[in-house]
A = this chain, B = another copy of it.
Amino acid sequence: MIVIGELINGTRKSIARAIAERDAAYIGGLATSQAEAGASFIDCNPGTIGEDEIRDIQWLIETVQAATDLPISFDTPNCTALQAAFDVYENDATPMINSITAEQERLDEMLEFVAQSGANIVALALSDAGMPASADDRVQTSLGLIDTLTAAGIAPDKIFVDPVISPLSTDATCGCAVLEAVRTIRQQRPDVHITCGLSNISFGLPERKLLNRVFVAQGIAAGMDSAITDPLDAQMMATICAAEALAGRDEWCMNYIQASRDGKLTQ
């Protein structure tokens, strides 16, 4: 499972403050703790705009790469900020761009840059028609976007397609629709990664972490092999470990048994 650690996100108050105060110890600590907890990428979202965003994303990347060797996920819709991110990125590990969509203007602006960067790319199933409403919407937009990206020279295993989760509180069919889309995409494009911004599912509902981890279990069974989530949520990580074993992706349950010995599965 490829976990994209979501905690360094400037839309969260504590992170916004740390960015504003250039609190490198706090941000670096969050990077290392997510790495130790099992993240594969550290997402960095400055949560600001314009010139601030460029300065902030560069500072975040410099701070995070000083703290961990893990690759970073550059989380911004702004192509100028993306370029600025690459300018300061010095880790050897291939970074992630989070994200491109099938919205034509954004796609036209970003596609060549993404392809030339060699980076991994989160491909969000959003089109000019807006949020996808059904499983089929998600599948069609995802497949079209995957084909556009591969036609531009991006290898399928660098594509992390995200079928877009809406809150269950406003769309009771969203859970089923996303799982059906994941199953179909996995069947039709076995070589791409499938990820999700998990926590959207529980927006507006109580006990959000419970819903998030139940949904990740279902998503893994459907074919998800990545999630944008909080690796410091021990129950989430234990659920992922168990779901991977149940999905037959953990030979002899060795990882699961080792995680148990390491005390990582105790609730």
Does A214 reach chain B (CB closer than 8 Å)?
yes
Main secondary structure on chain A at its contact with chain B?
A: helix
With contact pairs A246-B201, A252-B172, A267-B267 given, residues A214 and B211 touching in the complex (Cβ less than 8 Å) = no
Interface string of A235-267 (1 = CB under 8 A from B): 100110011011110111100110011000111
B248 near A175 (CB under 8 angstroms)? yes
Does A59 reach chain B (CB closer than 8 Å)?
no
Does A222 reach chain B (CB closer than 8 Å)?
yes
With contact pairs A175-B246, A211-B242, A211-B245 given, residues A235 and B205 touching in the complex (Cβ less than 8 Å) = no
A205 near B248 (CB under 8 angstroms)? no
Does A108 reach chain B (CB closer than 8 Å)?
no
B172 near A253 (CB under 8 angstroms)? yes
A261 CB to closest chain B CB (Å) equals 8
A201-250 residues with Cβ-Cβ distance < 8 A to B are 201, 205-207, 210-211, 214-215, 217-218, 220-222, 235, 238-239, 242-243, 245-248, 250
Q: A172 to B239, alpha carbons, bound, how many Å?
A: 17
Give the contacting residue for A210; candidates B168, B201, B267; CB below 8 A. B267
Does A3 reach chain B (CB closer than 8 Å)?
no
Interface string of A76-109 (1 = CB under 8 A from B): 0000000000000000000000000000000000
Q: A169-B253, A207-B266, A218-B220 are in contact. List 9 more A-B contacts (CB 8 A).
A: A168-B245, A175-B245, A175-B246, A206-B257, A206-B260, A210-B267, A211-B246, A218-B221, A221-B222
